[in-house]
A = this chain, B = another copy of it.
Amino acid sequence: MPFAGDPLSEPSEPVVGDLLIIGGAEDKLGRRSVLTEFVRRAGGSEARIAVVPTASSLGPEIVDVYAALFTRLGAAEVYGVRPQDRAQASDPAVVSELDRATGIFMTGGNQLKLSTVIAGTPFGDAILDARARGVTVAGTSAGASIQSSHMVAFGPGGATAKQRMTQVAAGLGLLQDCVVDQHFAQRNRYGRLLMIVSQSPQLLGIGVDEDTAAVVTRTPEGTDLMEVVGKGAVTVLDGRDMVTDAHAAREHRPILASGVVLHALPAGSRFDLTTRRLVPTARPVDPTEADELALANRDLGKMARDIAADDASPSALRRRIARRNRGATP
């Protein structure tokens, strides 16, 4: 939630803004947990949100939808910034629109529009700079894909990784050494993410379900921590130690991908993107179970004292337990 301009959260070290990588089709009418999380991290009632609808074939219409939503969720200001070609994405008047944002939201659409229009332009650089000064950056669907250093451009669904089934283009690089895919479960994109990881095992494959966000925060130690928010899951494919024939598999044929480590992470899961390991989360304790354990512990203590007092014959114990049970049922 920290951002430039908030004097309370301005530390000596620059605070890196959070990323919200949203798998598309985030709930807009019901619980809106993903969009709520974004507004909260972008500054809540002080949030000034720039909506970037470049990927979409719609312009003002989609900005209006998100403006209504974010305003309803408490944001102070929502406005659209829509570069439509690389000239506009280099226009200082357009680029400077991001200066006052505390949150940037990239809509869905066609991610190749984002890679061709904004990546590597002053506007694209301004998004990276904004994050570096603490601005929260979110994107859904195409706006999720563009965030990784390597971007899935297109390709069919299907569970089996097949040679040349998908294309990779260069993304914004908000998230390095990763490739993000979206609508993951809903469009069955295991195969295409696995194809990319097989050809580039150094990239961590991240597949985000619809109405789900991978929220990435930078810890003070410099670790990128991912937490899952929303209805679905985030699937991680780690190919570091894999064996593959991706250099030799024939076109359209299944690719050998052996030893890929898979993590399916539902809401609440936390994953360290630097070490590529699950971060253990304490589960809530069942109160009934806790009460029973406390009772058993007390009884055991009593029993230990009795044994020490040398009256621990089996029949004495049985009587004691019977008395205790009667006592426990008022």
Contact = CB atoms under 8 A, between A and B. Distances in A.
Contacts of A258: 263-265, 269, 271, 278
Interface of A: 158-161, 184-185, 188-191, 194, 207, 209, 232-233, 235, 237, 243, 245, 248-249, 253-267, 269, 271, 278, 280, 283
Nearest to A231: B254
A266 B256 contact: yes
Nearest to A207: B159
B263 A257 contact: yes
Q: How often does this chain occur in the complex, in copies?
A: 2
Interface centre among A232, A256, A257 (most CB of B within 10 A): A256
Contacts of A269: 256, 258
Given A159-B190, A188-B188, A261 B264 contact: no
B283 A254 contact: no
Given A185-B191, A232-B160, A258-B278, A266 B243 contact: no
Contacts of A263: 257-260
A234 to B, nearest CB: 9
A133 to B, nearest CB: 33
Pairs of residues from A and B, 10 with the lowest C-beta to C-beta distance, nearest first: A254-B266, A159-B185, A258-B278, A233-B254, A257-B264, A160-B185, A258-B263, A260-B262, A262-B262, A188-B188
